[in-house]
Chain A
């Protein structure tokens, strides 16, 4: 018997040269047709780029891009104990108002971050969107904590598709093409709409630093709806273009949005990660006690932005130095397409976190001078 986890309506998979099964999103064939360069990410085959990372990045900042984020885990919770259960699981206080979404962390007892998630309150259910790479872990964690409570969990990931439509043109274009009024949809709100007979959940959120939408729809419907709204390989849309994981990463770094496995890991807590705003220490969630102690003791390290001299890119785990002493570690870095500068996020001791502090990054064979700068590196105008 296979021992791998089973999910409702398992997605198609392909074999890698190492013989591992990699899942295909419902848009796999579309990506290939559009010339996407496919890579394995979080157990899925996804496009890293289409026209080029830099070009897709700039296009997202100036017009509108569509990203396939179907690899993200989509879980649905029902039952009368769900609000109390989520209150215990999530670092954030969640208001039970249908149509609202909340960014939150899920932590262990010791405060170690298991994942960062978006929790949404629906009409008679709650939804969780988790990282693709953490889906099995989070499902197992939730099931363990659910024991004895009136909570039912359904993993909807492979039964649905998820798209991120991002950029300054995203909202006006979506309104125009889909004929839905989004003017009342605020940030971190969502609504359910029927589009040509297809139920679509539309969230005003994203991971690029731009305004935009994240849309969840049935897996079987996405290939019917997408060309209708945003063009196809044969008839490309003049404004909306596909973008891949590469641009998604450079966009989120400029916007200083954390990525699990980089700024967030099980090895430290939400406060240390600099995300105290999504932690409510007055409530009794898993990890609260540990974080109260961490706060009382004072943080040992702090996440900062660095601007490096030269064009070289600082990468995860590169050492940060003050004088000759190693004081910290890079979590993410890139050559910022918007700023034309090498930027990075890194953990350093609080006394060295002051904006303007001069540090150095060991890039392997070379070193680069670095200055602490304010986060985010990029903020959208207006």
Chain B
């Protein structure tokens, strides 16, 4: 499993990619694989405020329901509408087509504390 090096990672298996002041986030392929077949994704509405360290949505699979946490504070500017009818996209491609939401972040600073791809790879190899 290859972990893209163009983004940052949390210990709880979310990824964050910066484009200007907008941060795209999702869950890692490792997390999607661990959850097994994903059946439902719950995301906030566009315009909602999210806070660093707080849950922003849920990913539900045959096996379990998991919270998804934001690493940044800001406003949701876009969500991945395709996931409502096709949550299995997360199993197929969690790092690209399976992105969850885009957040206009108040600050990008919290991302500095997150893991890079190499550190995350070591984290999941434990």
Contacts of A311 in B (CB 8 A): 39-40, 60, 87
Closest chain B residue, CB of each to CB of A48: B36
- Asked whether any CB of chain A lies closer than 8 Å to the CB of B91, the reply is yes
Instruction: State how many angstroms separate the Cβ of B30 from the closest Cβ of chain A.
Output: 12
B107 at the interface (CB under 8 A from A): no
B12, CB-defined interface residue at 8 Å? no
A265 interface residue per 8 A CB criterion: no
Contact mask for chain B residues 60-75; partner A; CB cutoff 8 A; 1 contact, 0 none? 1011010000000000
A235, B64: Cα distance in complex, Å: 33
- In the complex, what distance in Å separates the CA atom of A253 from the CA atom of B40? 19
Q: Give the distance in Å from the alpha carbon of A48 to the alpha carbon of B88 in the complex.
A: 17
CB contacts (< 8 Å) of A365 on chain B: these are 58
A249 to B63, CA, bound (A): 10
Q: Is the CB of A312 within 8 A of B40?
A: yes
Q: Please give the distance in Å from B92's CB to the nearest CB on chain A.
A: 10
The answer to whether the Cβ of A272 comes within 8 Å of any Cβ in the partner chain is: no
Q: Is the CB of B60 within 8 A of A313?
A: yes
Contacts A37-B33, A312-B40, A365-B58 known; A54 to B63 CB distance under 8 Å?
no
A249 to B36, CA, bound (A): 13
B116 interface hit (Cβ, 8 Å): no
Closest CB of chain B to A308's CB: distance in Å?
11
> A246's contact among B36, B42, B60, by CB below 8 Å, is which?
B36
Interface contact A53-B36, CB-CB below 8 Å? yes
Q: At the interface, yes or no: A334 with Cβ under 8 Å from chain B?
A: yes
Interface pair A312/B37, CB less than 8 Å apart: no
Q: Which residues of A contact B91 (CB under 8 A)?
A: 52
User: Within the complex, what minimum Cβ distance (angstroms) separates B34 from chain A?
Assistant: 8
Nearest B-chain residue to A363, judged by Cβ:
B65
Q: List the A side residues contacting B60 at CB < 8 Å.
A: 311-313
Known contacts: A250-B62, A313-B62. The answer to whether A52 contacts B37 by CB under 8 A is yes
Q: How far is the CA of A246 from the CA of B61 in the complex (A)?
A: 11
Whether B88 lies near A246 (C-beta < 8 A) is no
Are B36 and A334 in contact, with the CB atoms below 8 A?
A: no
Contact assessment for B39 and A49 in the assembled complex, using a CB-CB cutoff below 8 Å: no
> B37 near A54 (CB under 8 angstroms)?
yes
Complex Cα–Cα for A75 and B105 (A): 62
Interface set, chain A 303-360, CB cutoff 8 A to B: 310-313, 315, 334-335
A335→B39 contact, CB < 8 A = yes
- A335–B60 CA distance with the chains assembled, in angstroms: 10
Chain B residue numbers with a CB within 8 Å of A315 are 65
Query: Could you tell me if B62 and A335 are in contact, using CB atoms closer than 8 angstroms?
Result: yes
**Cβ of A364 under 8 Å from chain B:** yes
Give chain A nearest CB distance to B122 CB in angstroms. Answer: 16
A37 and B40 in contact, given A246-B62, A334-B62, A335-B62 (Cβ under 8 angstroms): no
Give the Cβ gap from A3 to chain B, nearest Cβ, in Å: 31
A313-B39 contact given A54-B88, A364-B65, A365-B58, CB 8 Å threshold: yes
Query: Chain B residues near A246 (CB, 8 Å)?
Result: 36-37, 62-63
Tell me, rounded to whole Å, the shortest Cβ–Cβ distance linking A38 to chain B.
12
Residues in A neighbouring B42, C-beta threshold 8 A: 366
A289 to chain B, nearest CB (A): 41
* Chain A residues near B65 (CB-CB < 8 A): 313, 315, 364
Q: 5 shortest A-B CB distances, which residue pairs?
A: A335-B39, A53-B37, A311-B40, A54-B37, A53-B62
Pull 29 A–B residue pairs with CB atoms less than 8 Å apart, ordered by A: A37-B36, A48-B36, A49-B36, A49-B37, A52-B37, A53-B36, A54-B62, A54-B88, A246-B36, A246-B63, A249-B62, A250-B62, A310-B40, A311-B39, A311-B40, A311-B60, A312-B40, A312-B60, A313-B40, A313-B60, A313-B62, A313-B65, A315-B65, A334-B62, A335-B39, A335-B40, A335-B62, A364-B65, A365-B58
Query: 20 other contacts beyond A37-B33, A52-B91, A335-B62, with CB at 8 A cut-off?
Result: A37-B36, A48-B36, A49-B36, A52-B36, A53-B37, A54-B37, A54-B88, A246-B36, A246-B37, A246-B62, A249-B62, A250-B62, A310-B40, A311-B39, A311-B87, A312-B40, A312-B60, A313-B60, A335-B40, A366-B42
